[in-house]
Structures are given as C-alpha cells and as structure tokens.
Amino acid sequence: MKPRLLEIRKGVLEKNDLLADGLRRRFHTAGVYALNWVSSPGTGKTALLEATLRRLRERGLRVAALVGDVATENDANRLARSGAPVRQIVTGGNCHLEADMIESHLTAAGWDLNGLDFLFIENVGNLVCPSSYDLGEDLRVVLLSVTEGEDKPLKYPSMFNSSDVAMITKIDLAEAVEFDRASAYANLEAVRPGLRVFETSAKTGKGVEAWVDFLVEQRASRRPQG
Amino acid sequence: MKPRLLEIRKGVLEKNDLLADGLRRRFHTAGVYALNWVSSPGTGKTALLEATLRRLRERGLRVAALVGDVATENDANRLARSGAPVRQIVTGGNCHLEADMIESHLTAAGWDLNGLDFLFIENVGNLVCPSSYDLGEDLRVVLLSVTEGEDKPLKYPSMFNSSDVAMITKIDLAEAVEFDRASAYANLEAVRPGLRVFETSAKTGKGVEAWVDFLVEQRASRRPQG
C-alpha cells in the first residue's frame, strides 16, 4: 500500500475503533449481544443466519439483523422470511462494513435496542477487508464452507486470527467435496490457537441447535459492563 | 468512502491504468496473451489454472503464471506441478494485485516475454477489490463455482461487469448443490449482457478442452497492435 494511503487509512481505522467502542457500550447497556459474521461470498452466511434467527425466535428471544452487501437487497429479503426485523446496508462498492454505517443504520431502522437480545451483523462477503473494522460486536464469527478448500485460514490469516469462532458450513457436502477435516482444523489451529469451531448445515439443520445453545449461553454469561 | 480517501484512490487508479497500458503494450509486442483470473476464495481458480497450464503445455505452448495471495505460497507450489514457471506475489494484506506488482515481479522472475505464449495472472481471492485494477491483461476471467449461489453476479456487479469471460467451476457438483443453471445465466446476462460463459470441472476435466481451444483461438485471432 502507498505510504500516503497507509497514513490516511490509519486515521480511518482509529476513528472506526472509537465509534465501535461507543457502539459496544450501547449494546452492553441495552443487554444486546452483537455478532459480526464474516466470510467469503457463497459460504452460506445468509442461510445459516436465517436458521439462527428462526430458532432464537422460537425460544422467545428478540433478534434483529443488519446485512451488508456491495449491491442488491436480496439477503435482507431472504432473512425477513424468518420474521425478524432486518435492514440492508448497501455499501456501494465498499468491501466491508464500518462502525459509522452500523450507527447510522440502527438510527434509521429506529429499533429500540432495549427491546433486543441479539443483533446480527452480516458483513460483506470478503475475507480481506472486514478484518480491520471493529463493529462493536461481542463475537466475530468467520464462516468457512467445506467447498472452499481447507487452506483458507492460512491464506487469509488476519480474518481468521481476528475471529472468536469459526463456523464450518455446508457440512452436508463434506463427503461430495472430499473435505479434509483434519487439515481444516490444523490450519485453523495454526492461525488462531484455541479457536472454537462449529460445524453446521443450514440445509439439514445439523449442528444448528448446538450453535444456538452456545449463543444463548454466551449472552447469559457475559459480564455486565461497569 | 471518505472524500479524502476517494481522491487519493483516484490518483492510485490513474497511475495504475498508465502502468497497465505499458504492460499491455509489452505483452502485445512480445506476442504474449495475458489473462487476469478473479473470483472469491475457494472457487477453484488454482485447480483450473493447473489443468489449463498442463493442457497448453501438452500442445507445445509456452506458459507462465503469476499468483497473488494475501499470504502463503501454497498456490505457486501447487501450480509448479504443471511444469510451468510460476511466481508467487504475496500482497501482505492488500486485497488485489496492481500493475506495478506485475511489473516488478516479471522483472524479478527474469522471464523472457518473447519466449512466452500465455501469461496467467491469478488475482487475490476477492470479488470486490480487484475489479478496479487493470493489470494489462487481454482477457479478464471471473470464476463462479456452482457451490457459491447463483446470485453472486448481482451482488458483485463491478467484478462481473468488468470481466470478458465467466467461468462456472466445479460443475461436477451441480446436482449435489442443486445448482440453478437458468438463474445463474440470467444473472450473468443481467449484469453483463453477452458475456461468454464456460462450464468446467477441474476434477473430471469436463469443459477444460473447450476452454483451452477458446484460449488458443483468442490468441491467434488477436489483432496485432500497431
């Protein structure tokens, strides 16, 4: 990167971190547990998010989602089928979400944060850009589908290293694509030792209950912010 | 994007375009047909590239490849199995290749362009960033795997719109993932009317001969630059 660009980008990131800290405080005060979902395009983020929203709602939990995309409102339309309030953020060429987009879209959506238990943020499909941008989330989830290749953690280390949980998706296709589970886990462990890993299939529902259990526990056990 | 960033980025793009034009002239003068391969991570760029390099070599054509990645030299090692000269470009966090990287790595590789028929450039796995950066290529190929979802052209219009050919990969998995071919083609056509589409499987070899035939024809029919 050019030195001048680098300097300006540093300023952008510092400003983003400040805004993200403010968001995190607001979320904690309101009792909202916030997640930032990142992955390359086509890992099945939206399908798994729809399944997650449905199951949390079935358990009586109050959920909402912000969905980032470079173009189109397809994902918001898909997610709205879950019955949860959903708002699309069209970034218009930007390859990631930033904290100020979250702030302005929360305001525009008019959601009462005190009336929410979980806020899901689906980032733009990209394994590079979103890694540097804190959105005030409690949990960053990186998704990796069995069809993508087991080497992705090594090739996109910042994204995997900055995540709290890795989700292996489309596990129903593992056999068809000869997914090498041992290699995938070894690569995740190499980049982010101790990373918690889940395996799910939005299609068959496999692993989704365990994932939702984990989210409910995480929210319950979160230390209240002073 | 912030106005100040936008202004500087414009300068970066203009400088890149100048360098890319210079590269294109060098390639044409030397008789090298250059390709820029773009896609999200995990579409099978490297596997198809390896198959393409092998087949062109079997036909007596002289090929080389530059491979961009944020981190690791895995892809270069895989491609080297084809017997072609390969050089990895590790971008260290940059989400795309730029013309100056191509120039400096060609110099560092020490390849004689007059001794090459095809130069393949495998871009960083990303459907957003690489779209704005001309690398002096004759042909930009965007890859879309059947496992990714048929909506990707609509969600990443700049990348598909700036490409000359779309390659649908992993076609052997089409049935397992219930690939909706009509929808994929309609979305490609909506974003880039008249876009030439190929379907391939690096695993079974399906479609690879037709693709290699096309490349050989394209190179032969290219109008010499004045």
Chain A residue with minimum CA distance to B175: A176
Indicate the burial class of B195 (C-beta count within 10 angstroms; 0-12, 13-18, 19 or more): middle
- What is the C-alpha to C-alpha distance for residues B39 and B57, in angstroms, rounded to an integer? 24
pLDDT band of residue A224 (cuts 50, 70, 90) is: low
> At A74, which CATH number?
3.40.50.300
Provide CB contacts within 8 A for B175, sequence distance 6+.
none
- What is the C-alpha to C-alpha distance for residues A54 and A79, in angstroms, rounded to an integer? 9
User: What are the residues facing A64 on neighbouring strands?
Assistant: A119
Inspect the interface and report whether the beta carbons of B155 and A4 lie closer than 8 Å.
no
Q: Is residue B226 part of a domain?
A: no
pLDDT band of residue B222 (cuts 50, 70, 90) is: confident
**Which residues of chain A are within 8 Å of residue B71 when distances are taken between CB atoms?**
154-157
Q: Is residue B114 part of a domain?
A: yes
Q: Is residue A82 part of a domain?
A: yes
Number of structural domains in chain B:
1
What integer best gives the mean pLDDT of chain A? 93
Q: Is residue A226 part of a domain?
A: no
Q: How crowded is residue B60: how many other Cβ atoms within 10 Å of its Cβ?
A: 7
Say how many CA atoms lie within 13 Å of A79 toward its Cβ.
25
**Which residues of chain A are within 8 Å of residue B124 when distances are taken between CB atoms?**
128
B32-53 pLDDT, tens digit each: 999 999 999 999 999 999 999 9
Supply φ then ψ for residue A138, to 5 degrees.
-85, -35
Q: Please give the residue range of the domain that contains residue A166.
A: 2-221
Q: What is the mean pLDDT of residues A52-78?
A: 94
- What is the C-alpha to C-alpha distance for residues A214 and B202, in angstroms, rounded to an integer? 38
**Which residues of chain B are within 8 Å of residue A93 when distances are taken between CB atoms?**
1, 128, 158
Q: Which residues of chain A have a Cβ shorter than 8 Å from any chain B Cβ?
A: 1-2, 4-5, 8-9, 12, 40-42, 69-72, 74, 93-95, 124-129, 145, 147-149, 151-152, 154-158, 170, 173, 176-177
Inspect the interface and report whether the beta carbons of A129 and B95 lie closer than 8 Å.
yes
Q: Is residue A72 part of a domain?
A: yes
Q: Is residue B91 part of a domain?
A: yes
pLDDT band of residue A10 (cuts 50, 70, 90) is: confident
Q: What is the mean pLDDT of residues A47-62?
A: 97
For residue A226, the SS3 value is: coil
Inspect the interface and report whether the beta carbons of B126 and A151 lie closer than 8 Å.
no
The pTM of this model reads 0.85
**Residue with token string 């199951």:** A55
Number of residue pairs across A and B with CB atoms under 8 Å?
A: 122
pLDDT band of residue B7 (cuts 50, 70, 90) is: confident
Chain B residue with minimum CA distance to A131: B93
Inspect the interface and report whether the beta carbons of A173 and B176 lie closer than 8 Å.
yes
**Residue A95 to chain B, least CA–CA distance (Å):** 6
- Show the tokens assigned to A120: 């899901």
Chain B residue with minimum CA distance to A203: B177
**Residue A143 to chain B, least CA–CA distance (Å):** 12
A17-39 pLDDT, tens digit each: 999 999 999 999 999 999 999 99
Q: What is the mean pLDDT of residues B166-177?
A: 96
Q: How crowded is residue A138: how many other Cβ atoms within 10 Å of its Cβ?
A: 19
pLDDT reported for residue A96: 94
Q: Is residue A14 part of a domain?
A: yes
A150-181 pLDDT, tens digit each: 999 999 999 999 999 999 999 999 999 999 99
Q: Is residue B106 part of a domain?
A: yes
User: What are the residues facing A35 on neighbouring strands?
Assistant: A120, A139
Instruction: Provide ipTM, 2 decimals.
Output: 0.76
